Structure 1
Amino acid sequence: MNEAQLGPIPKRSLRDDAYHGLRRAIVSGALQPGAQLTEPQLARQFQISRSPIREALHRLEQEGFVVRRPNGRIFVAPLDAQELEQLYAVRAVNEGLAASLAAPSITDDDLAAMEHHVEEMRRLAAEGDVDGSLQAGQAFHDVILERSGNAPLVEIVRGLRLRISRFRTMIAAGRDQGSRAAEHREILEALRSGNPVHARCATERHIHQSAASVLNRLGDASGIAAEDRAAGADQG
């Protein structure tokens, strides 16, 4: 692990700051899957004591960002295709439900906000700001979640998104942004019609298409990594 990737953090809430700093490094790819994490090294890099690091690692383990081996060693969790497929399947069901709940009560202000987010997705993608386009897409879905009026459902979906965020770089690279914006437009029009079934179906279809794209990207990355390992073995 390159110590230049991490730095000191302000002493506000050390446990939370350590958690967010580590999660950000994992999601961005600064900490690669399989990288070993040790409390002394992280404490030295963040310039804090080991206690908040230990608590941050425990939280990240609960959320699936890191794994603890039987010998107690901690590693950044691998990008697992089966896990991703399962996460997207659960997300599709729950966000589809949120859309069906939101459809009858969607407001003109909601629709205007979602229209804005779709246009932002297009604009940012055209400018090459794929991460910004992804954030605009999330804001689009946030409108639906809030309008669903179901607080436990909102909590479930946000937890799923958090776990899926580990695959963010592949989500960004693996999708045609024009198609992605068109799928959001389809959801928007289904909500505009006020039809819960259409809203659910459009949302589930979009999420399944996203899953297929990212899984393909993950498979390609795994194949390239395997080829690299084989080439290294041949050279050795």
Structure 2
Amino acid sequence: MQQTGRASNGVIKAASAEEPRLRHDDAYLRIRRDIISCQLSPGQRFTEAELMDRYEIGKATCRNALLRLLQDGFVVSQPRRGYFVKPISVKDVDEVFDLRLELEPMAARLAVGRVDLDQLVRWEKACREDCVEMDIADQIKVFLDANKEFHMTIAAASDNRRLHSFMRSLLDEMSRLAALGFGFGGLKPGIKSDHESMLDAFRNGDGEEAARIARRHVDAFRGMTMDKILVALRDVSAELPITRQGRT
């Protein structure tokens, strides 16, 4: 049965079932975004109460978000110890880049003749945006968000829904690895030439060249990030302070 409530002007108003769902979605997305950007550090332990305080959310919203994050694999639960942000291991790094080396050349090859070049140019420009007024953590986040959308635009143009869906999950994991490594080193990544070469291959309609550049690009980024991630995994503290955000 639909619930109703009385508005201030006396008119009977239906209570929308969308409102709690939207609150749940917003909390889940904010926590997920903070895990991917390593604002919540790999291995960090937390309680429901700490999440409720940090994000200013209620218990039902918090539990809904935690359930979804557990299903995503971004959070793990241990009996009598509470919740932990899923740690990052060297094996995780190898698996993510091994899969990118296989899937991104395929996506690039399939995207030739379909990809929106204007959109790719916009994301490529956003990747190399200076953002000097931001601190380095925010600069890295802006780069990683734009870089993800550059590659997701290609994946979407592959016209393969499963590839597109898998690439989104894979690039979220990759963004977390890069946020840890480059954030710990205080350095923004730089990959301008590969993106521009890929754009040229798309303009020329050369699927094999696009695939070759995609593989080279992933391999170069792997080399660029691996040492930084290893240093971060060895030295970074797993505990970060809990700070307050907005209640949902």
Give the TM interval when normalised to the shorter protein. 0.7 to 0.9
- 1:224/1:15 Cα in 2 relative to 1: closer, same or farther (>3 Å)? same
Task: Give the corresponding residue for 1:20.
Answer: 29
- Shift, 1:182, TM fit: 0.7
- Shift, 1:122, TM fit: 3.0
Task: Give the corresponding residue for 2:232.
Answer: 221
**Given the alignment of the two structures, is residue 142 of structure 1 paired with residue 152 of structure 2, yes or no?**
yes
Q: Contact (CA 8 Å) 1:85, 1:215: kept in 2 or not?
A: no
- Shift, 1:176, TM fit: 6.7
Matched ranges for 1:101-112 at <5 A? 101-103=110-112, 105-106=113-114, 110-112=116-118
**Given the alignment of the two structures, is residue 113 of structure 1 paired with residue 119 of structure 2, yes or no?**
yes
Give me the whole-angstrom Cα distance separating, in 2, the residues matched to 1:45 and 1:133.
25
- 1:171/1:46 Cα in 2 relative to 1: closer, same or farther (>3 Å)? closer
Equivalent of residue 213 in structure 2, options 189, 202, 214: 202
**Given the alignment of the two structures, is residue 99 of structure 1 paired with residue 108 of structure 2, yes or no?**
yes
- 1:115/1:32 Cα in 2 relative to 1: closer, same or farther (>3 Å)? closer
**Identity, % of aligned positions:** 30
Q: Contact (CA 8 Å) 1:99, 1:196: kept in 2 or not?
A: yes
Count of residue pairs brought into register by the alignment? 213
**With CA pairs under 8 Å and 6+ residues apart, which has the higher RCO, 1 or 2?**
2
**Given the alignment of the two structures, is residue 182 of structure 1 paired with residue 188 of structure 2, yes or no?**
no
Give me the whole-angstrom Cα distance separating, in 2, the residues matched to 1:76 and 1:177.
24
Task: Give the corresponding residue for 2:84.
Answer: 75
Q: Contact (CA 8 Å) 1:89, 1:208: kept in 2 or not?
A: no
CA RMSD of aligned residues (A): 2.9
- 1:143/1:30 Cα in 2 relative to 1: closer, same or farther (>3 Å)? closer
Task: Give the corresponding residue for 1:191.
Answer: 202
- Shift, 1:83, TM fit: 0.8
- Shift, 1:90, TM fit: 1.3
Amino acid at match of 1:151: R
Give me the whole-angstrom Cα distance separating, in 2, the residues matched to 1:75 and 1:112.
41
Provide the TM-score with structure 1 as the length reference.
0.75
Q: Which has the higher helix share?
A: 1
Give me the whole-angstrom Cα distance separating, in 2, the residues matched to 1:137 and 1:47.
30
Task: Give the corresponding residue for 2:130.
Answer: 124
Give me the whole-angstrom Cα distance separating, in 2, the residues matched to 1:41 and 1:112.
43
Give me the whole-angstrom Cα distance separating, in 1, the residues matched to 2:59 and 2:119.
44
**Given the alignment of the two structures, is residue 157 of structure 1 paired with residue 167 of structure 2, yes or no?**
yes
Provide the TM-score with structure 2 as the length reference.
0.72
Cα distance per residue 1:192-235 (max 9 Å; x no partner): 23222221121122112212222211111234359xxxxxxxxx
- Shift, 1:97, TM fit: 1.0
Give me the whole-angstrom Cα distance separating, in 1, the residues matched to 2:57 and 2:188.
42
**SS of 1:29's equivalent?**
coil
